[in-house]
């Protein structure tokens, strides 16, 4: 099969059309180029958390968010618990963005700005803090942000008639995936990942009072979250698996990836289907654009040799690389069936390597869950956290992994001298980094063996032990 034949077959395939359609939902937030701006995310969440706004749901979004956060904190945390939330009068609550505060950190007074502050009126009429939301899209926290907010919150307790004593306001940290944050928030911040945020939005949409305008905006915001690289698009992933699982389509993809120079004669077709081709690792032979990274392209080429076969899937390969373990999804679908998976959520286990910045690239291995109903998915979340902990204990100490908790299994830093930003990461320079890329691949091979041994020997028993009702197939 030559390049022309490969293009003809791939573009005519219904499987490619399905895959491309799954990638095409540009939300209004993306179209307005605000999908990665933290202030825009915070403004939307603030609007939805404010009972005084015109979304039609009153205090329901706020109460559901508080319930979710308080449940994660646990009833023994000493803060606000679900029983407290149930009796709180939220009619007078209000929400505000970019609220300046001051806190003491290591004996030094430090300024900060809360992304979102939700308050309740006191008997004297003064607002009292109920909820703090810190939201990160890609960047981690700067300096001692969460420590500043924790200190400020400790000095501004919530005292309302329904609470028998003063309570510290709920502190929440919203991000795509906590395992990818270099500096996690201080305790007692409650982490709410994008998958949890999406589940909360589903709960809000189910409320009868939500206006049609608000439903549209919430649905668009959910689409914006899914389009973020760090939040899985399960529909697109399933379509890609089907596409790459078809023998003829798989052969066509390999031919196109192996002949980037010949693709130059088909620029119009490649540009027309650029999003889908990029996901498949098909790129023209050219100098990297602002979003491309030659080190990631090279790592994908190396990884394809190691992760070939039906047990692993590879996505991305220009700005970031994802390699995911397929038997996990197959195992839970076999045990529960599709309908139950929709209720419990779909777990995943994957490597993630993003383009180096400031001379450092990070390889992450972590688990997670997408979809599911708010209450039902908690059991799946607990299981994912448990098996991630099991795998984390098996990571050899000589890998230098920094992952210590939650769903993180391994987090390994690699040095790329001279690559401070994407513009430095060009094909002409990538040969200088071959040694480090092979070290990264070596770490992936070590971790791959651990995962495959667990998958073969322990995955099915683990499902049956944690979910006694699962079908024993």
Q: What pLDDT is stored for residue 33 in this prediction?
A: 39
Distance, CA of 350 to CA of 454 (rounded, Å) = 14
CB atoms near residue 131 (< 10 Å): 24
Q: What is the DSSP letter of 169?
A: P
Residue 58's closest CA among 80, 87, 84, 89? 89
The domain spans of the chain are 36-227, 287-466
Distance, CA of 437 to CA of 295 (rounded, Å) = 8
313-322 mean pLDDT:
79
Greatest mean pLDDT among 43-47, 96-100, 166-170, 394-398 lies in 394-398
DSSP 181-238: -SSPPPTTPEEEEHHHHHHHHHHHHTSTT--HHHHHHHHHHHHHHHHSTTS--HHHHH
Q: Mind listing the pLDDT tens digit for each residue in 13-27?
A: 999 888 887 775 554
53-70 mean pLDDT:
89
Q: Cβ neighbours of residue 204 under 8 Å, at least 6 residues apart?
A: 48, 57, 60, 61, 64, 210, 218
CB atoms near residue 418 (< 10 Å): 11
HSE (side-chain half, CA atoms, 13 Å) at 51: 16
Q: Mind listing the pLDDT tens digit for each residue in 140-192?
A: 555 588 999 999 998 988 887 777 778 889 999 988 777 666 677 888 899 98
Q: What angle do CA 16, 17, 18 make, to 5 degrees?
A: 90
Whether a cis peptide bond, with omega within 30° of 0, leads into 238 is no
Q: What pLDDT is stored for residue 8 in this prediction?
A: 92
Partners of residue 363 on adjacent β-strands: 353, 412
Residue 233's closest CA among 276, 282, 191? 276
436-440 mean pLDDT:
93
347-361 mean pLDDT:
89
Does the pLDDT of residue 198 top 90, yes or no? no
């Amino acid at each position: 099969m030559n390049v022309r034949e490969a293009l003809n077959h791939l573009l005519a395939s219904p499987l490619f059309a399905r895959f491309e359609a799954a990638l095409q939902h540009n939300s209004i937030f993306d179209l307005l180029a605000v999908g990665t701006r933290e202030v825009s995310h915070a403004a939307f969440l603030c609007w939805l958390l404010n009972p005084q706004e015109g979304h039609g749901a009153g205090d329901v979004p706020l109460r559901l968010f508080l319930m979710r956060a308080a449940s994660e904190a646990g009833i023994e945390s000493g803060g606000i618990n679900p029983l407290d939330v149930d009796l709180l009068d939220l009619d007078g609550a209000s929400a505000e963005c970019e609220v300046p505060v001051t806190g003491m950190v290591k004996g030094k007074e430090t300024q900060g700005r809360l992304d979102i502050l939700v308050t309740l009126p006191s008997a004297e009429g003064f607002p009292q803090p109920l909820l703090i939301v810190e939201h990160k899209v890609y960047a981690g926290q700067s300096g001692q942000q969460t420590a500043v907010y924790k200190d400020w919150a400790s000095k501004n307790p919530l005292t309302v008639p329904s609470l028998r004593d003063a309570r510290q306001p709920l502190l929440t940290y919203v991000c795509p995936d906590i395992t990818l944050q270099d500096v996690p928030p201080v305790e007692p911040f409650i982490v709410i990942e994008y998958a949890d945020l999406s589940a909360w939005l589903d709960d809000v949409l189910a409320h009868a009072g939500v206006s049609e305008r608000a439903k549209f905006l919430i649905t668009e915001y959910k689409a914006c979250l899914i389009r973020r690289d760090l939040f899985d698009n399960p529909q697109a992933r399933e379509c890609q698996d089907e596409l790459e699982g078809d023998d003829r389509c798989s052969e066509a993809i390999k031919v196109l990836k192996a002949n980037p120079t010949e693709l130059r004669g088909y620029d119009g077709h490649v540009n027309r289907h650029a999003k889908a081709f990029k996901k498949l690792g098909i790129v023209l032979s050219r100098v990297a654009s602002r979003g491309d990274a030659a080190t990631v392209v090279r790592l994908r080429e190396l990884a394809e040799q190691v992760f070939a076969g039906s047990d692993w899937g590879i996505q991305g390969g220009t700005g970031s690389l994802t390699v995911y373990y397929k038997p996990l999804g197959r195992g839970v679908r076999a045990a529960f069936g599709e309908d139950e998976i929709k209720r419990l959520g779909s777990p995943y286990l994957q490597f993630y390597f993003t383009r180096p910045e400031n001379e450092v690239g990070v390889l992450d291995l972590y688990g997670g869950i997408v979809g599911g109903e708010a209450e039902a998915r908690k059991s799946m979340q607990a299981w994912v956290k448990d098996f991630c902990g099991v795998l984390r204990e098996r990571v050899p100490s000589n890998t230098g992994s920094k992952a210590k908790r939650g769903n993180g299994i391994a987090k390994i830093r690699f040095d790329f001298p001279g690559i401070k930003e994407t513009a430095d990461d060009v094909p002409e320079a990538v040969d200088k980094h071959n040694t480090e890329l092979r070290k990264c691949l070596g770490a992936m091979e070590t971790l791959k063996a651990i995962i495959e041994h667990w998958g073969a020997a322990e995955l099915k028993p683990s499902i049956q032990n944690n979910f006694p009702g699962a079908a024993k197939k």
